[in-house]
Copies of this chain bind each other. A is one copy, B any other.
Amino acid sequence: MRNLAWINGSVCNLSEASISLEDRGYLLGDGVYEIIRVYNKTPFYLSAHLERIKRSAREIRLPLPYSPVEIEAVITDLLKQSGCIEGYIYIQLTRGPAPRDHLFPVEPKPSMVFYVREMASPGGADAVKPGKCITLPDERWLNCYIKSTNLLPNVLARQKAAEAGAVEAILYRAGGIVTEATRSNVFAVIGDKVRTHPESKLILSGITRRIALDILEELDVPSAEEAFTIEDLSSASEVFLTSTTMEIKPVCAVDEKPVGNNKTGPVGRSVIKAFWDKIAEHCPKE
Interface residues of A (CB under 8 A from B): 5, 7, 14-15, 17-31, 33, 60-61, 90, 92, 99-100, 102-104, 113, 115, 117, 137, 139-143, 146, 148-156, 158-159, 162, 182-183
By the criterion CB–CB under 8 Å, are A153 and B141 in contact? yes
Complex CA–CA separation, A139 to B26 (angstroms): 21
A19 with B21, Cβ < 8 A, contacts A141-B153, A158-B103 known: yes
Query: Which residues of chain B come closer than 8 Å to A153, judged between CB atoms?
Result: 141, 143, 150
Nearest-Cβ distance from residue A48 to partner chain B, whole angstroms: 21
When C-beta atoms are compared, the residue in chain B nearest to A27 turns out to be: B149
Say whether B162 contacts A30, CB under 8 Å: no
12 A-B pairs besides A21-B113, A29-B151 with CB distance below 8 A are A15-B22, A18-B20, A19-B26, A23-B26, A27-B92, A28-B149, A100-B117, A102-B183, A139-B141, A139-B142, A143-B153, A150-B153
Copies of this chain: 2
Which B residues are CB-close (under 8 A) to A158?
A: 102-103
Q: Interface majority SS on A: helix, strand, loop or mixed?
A: mixed
Residues from chain B with Cβ under 8 Å of A31 in the complex? 152
Q: Which of B7, B29, B156 is in CB contact (< 8 Å) with A60?
A: B156
* Separation of A204 and B102 alpha carbons in the complex (Å): 16
Contact A21 B21 (CB under 8 A): no
Q: How far is the CB of A96 from chain B (nearest CB, A)?
A: 12
Most buried by B among A20, A100, A117: A100
| Closest chain B residue, CB of each to CB of A157 | B102
**A20 and chain B: residue at smallest CB distance:** B18
B99 touches A150 (CB 8 A): no
| Chain B residues, CB < 8 A from A146 | 152
Would you give 24 A-B contacts (Cβ < 8 Å), ordered by A? Answer: A17-B22, A18-B21, A19-B19, A19-B26, A21-B115, A23-B26, A26-B92, A27-B92, A28-B149, A28-B151, A29-B149, A29-B151, A29-B152, A30-B155, A60-B155, A102-B151, A102-B182, A102-B183, A137-B142, A139-B141, A140-B141, A141-B150, A141-B152, A150-B153
> With a CB–CB cut-off of 8 A, which chain B residues contact A22?
14-15, 17
The answer to whether B152 touches A104 (Cβ under 8 A) is: no
Chain B residue at smallest Cβ distance from A88: B100
